[in-house]
Chain A
C-alpha cells in the first residue's frame, strides 16, 4: 500500500514549516525526500513516524512496523554495538548475525566497546544496522550517511541496498549524489 500525503501543513508557533504539502510514497521502493536545510524534511519524517501530528491534511497508509535512523543516533550509550542492535531484534536473533552485519559496515573492531567510546561515523553505522535488522515494513532514514567519508559512504550505501528486503524506504537527504546512488524516487520540498 502506498503512503498518501495530502495537503499536509505543520506549524511550530508562528512558523509554518510545511504548507499544503502532498506526495505519494511508493510501497517497497526507495523514496528520497530532498530540499534545502530548514525546508521541513525532518518534520515530514516525524509526521510519517508519528512523532508529530499535522495541523491540516492527512497521511494514509503508513505501515505499523517501523524502524529508523534518526537525525541523532539515539543509541544506548553504556551498551556496546552488539547490545544496541540486539535491543530491537527478535529474541532468537543469533549474536553471530548481528556481529556479521556490524562487520559488513566496518564496526568489526569495536563490537564490544560501549558506543559512547565510538566515533561519530561508527555510531551512525551502528544506528543503521539497528534499523536494518529490526523487523519492520518501512525504514525511515534521516541523513543516514552523515559523517561518513566517500569510500565508507559507498560501502554503507551498498549494504543498505542489499539489506532492504523489499521494505519501503523513506530517506531524507540534501545530497543529490546520495539520492542518485540510492536509485530512489525523488520528492522535493
Chain B
C-alpha cells in the first residue's frame, strides 16, 4: 500500500515537474517576444493561442488536419508493416538482409529534401507525404526489429531446435517477445520522424488543403502567428498520436488469452 502511494506521489511529482517546465518555456518565449518586439520575427504565445482559437472554428482547419493526418499515418503504417516483415525475413534468411542493406543505407543517409524533390517528379503532390513518411519510417522500423531478432536468446533457440519446434511457434514464443521492446521504441521514434518528414514534403509539394500548404502560405504572406499556430498543431497531433498508438501497441502486446 505504502509502495503504491510512494509511486503515485512520484508520478504526481513528475507531472508537476513537466507542467512547471512547460510554463517556464512559455515564459521564456513570452519574454523573448517582448524583448524582440517584432511580431514578424517572433509572436507571443498569446497571439498564437488567439490565432488557434480562430482557426479551430473553421472547417478548413479540420479538413487540413484530416488530409495530412491520413496521408502521414498511411505512410507510417505501411513502414511499420513492411519494415517488420522485411526485418523478420532478413533475420530468417541472411541473404535478404544482405540484399536490403544498400537500400536501407541509402534511405538512411539521403537528406529528406532530396527524396522529396526527386519524388515530386515521380508522384502526385497530393500523395507525396504518404511515400515520404513511409520512406523515413521504414529504415527505423526495419533496423530496430532486425536488431531485436538478432538479440533472441541463443539458449532458447537451442532448446527450440532440440524439441524440433516449428517456425511459427519459434516466432510466437521466442522472437516476438524479444522483438517487442525494439519495435515499440522504433515506433516511438518513427511517429515523430514521419510527421516531420511528411509535413516537409507537403511544404515543398504544396498539395491543396494540406497542413503543408497552410504553413507555406503563412510563410509567403509573412503571417508568423499562423505559422506558429500550425506548428503547434503539428506538434500536438504528433504527440497525441504517439501516445495513443503506443498505448494501443502495449495493450496489444500484453494481451492474454482469457481462461
Q: Which of B149-177 contact A (CB under 8 A)?
A: 155-156, 158-160, 162-165, 169, 173-174, 177
**Do A87 and B177 touch (CB < 8 A)?**
no
Bound complex: CA A68 to CA B165 (Å) = 13
In the complex, A145 has a CB within 8 A of chain B: no
In the complex, B94 has a CB within 8 A of chain A: no
**Do B173 and A79 touch (CB < 8 A)?**
yes
Chain A contacts of B163 at CB under 8 A?
66-68, 87-88, 130, 134, 136
In the complex, A15 has a CB within 8 A of chain B: no
Q: Point out the residue from B155, B158, B177 that lies within 8 Å of A78, measured CB to CB.
A: B177
Bound complex: CA A83 to CA B163 (Å) = 15
**Interface 9-residue window, one of A21-29, A69-77, A102-110:** A69-77
In the complex, B259 has a CB within 8 A of chain A: yes
Bound complex: CA A76 to CA B153 (Å) = 10
CB-CB nearest in chain B for A70: B159
Chain A contacts of B164 at CB under 8 A?
65-66
Q: Which of B110-138 contact A (CB under 8 A)?
A: none
Secondary structure class of chain A's binding surface, majority of residues: loop
Chain B contacts of A65 at CB under 8 A?
164
Chain A contacts of B259 at CB under 8 A?
112
Q: Using a Cβ–Cβ cut-off of 8 Å, how many residues does chain B contribute to the interface with A?
A: 14
Chain B contacts of A12 at CB under 8 A?
none
Secondary structure class of chain B's binding surface, majority of residues: helix
**Do A76 and B158 touch (CB < 8 A)?**
no
Chain B contacts of A79 at CB under 8 A?
173, 177
Interface flags for A44-67 (1: CB within 8 Å of B; 0: not) read: 000001110000000000000111
Bound complex: CA A65 to CA B163 (Å) = 7
Bound complex: CA A67 to CA B155 (Å) = 14
Chain A contacts of B177 at CB under 8 A?
76-79
Chain A contacts of B174 at CB under 8 A?
76
Residue with the greatest number of chain A CB neighbours at <10 A, chosen from B160, B165, B173, B174 = B173
Bound complex: CA A51 to CA B159 (Å) = 10
Chain A contacts of B156 at CB under 8 A?
74, 76
Chain B contacts of A74 at CB under 8 A?
155-156, 158-159
In the complex, how many angstroms separate the beta carbon of A134 from the nearest chain B beta carbon? 5
CB-CB nearest in chain B for A65: B164
Bound complex: CA A87 to CA B164 (Å) = 10
Chain A contacts of B159 at CB under 8 A?
68, 70, 74
Bound complex: CA A83 to CA B155 (Å) = 18
Q: Point out the residue from B155, B158, B162, B173 that lies within 8 Å of A87, measured CB to CB.
A: B173
CB-CB nearest in chain A for B153: A74
**Do B155 and A72 touch (CB < 8 A)?**
yes
Interface flags for A73-102 (1: CB within 8 Å of B; 0: not) read: 010111100011001100000000000000
Bound complex: CA A68 to CA B158 (Å) = 11
**Do B162 and A76 touch (CB < 8 A)?**
no
Residue with the greatest number of chain B CB neighbours at <10 A, chosen from A65, A72, A74, A134 = A74
CB-CB nearest in chain B for A74: B159
Bound complex: CA A160 to CA B240 (Å) = 55
Bound complex: CA A74 to CA B158 (Å) = 9
Bound complex: CA A50 to CA B163 (Å) = 12
Residue with the greatest number of chain A CB neighbours at <10 A, chosen from B156, B159, B169 = B159
Bound complex: CA A65 to CA B162 (Å) = 8
Chain B contacts of A134 at CB under 8 A?
163
In the complex, how many angstroms separate the beta carbon of A44 from the nearest chain B beta carbon? 15
**Do B162 and A66 touch (CB < 8 A)?**
yes
Chain B contacts of A66 at CB under 8 A?
162-164
A-B contacts besides A68-B163, A134-B163, 16 pairs, CB < 8 Å: A51-B158, A65-B164, A66-B163, A67-B162, A67-B163, A68-B159, A70-B155, A74-B155, A76-B174, A76-B177, A78-B177, A79-B173, A84-B173, A87-B169, A87-B173, A112-B259
A: residues with CB less than 8 A from B are: 49-51, 65-68, 70, 72, 74, 76-79, 83-84, 87-88, 112, 130, 134, 136
> 9 A-B Cβ contacts within 8 A?
A65-B164, A66-B163, A66-B164, A74-B156, A74-B158, A76-B173, A77-B177, A79-B173, A88-B163
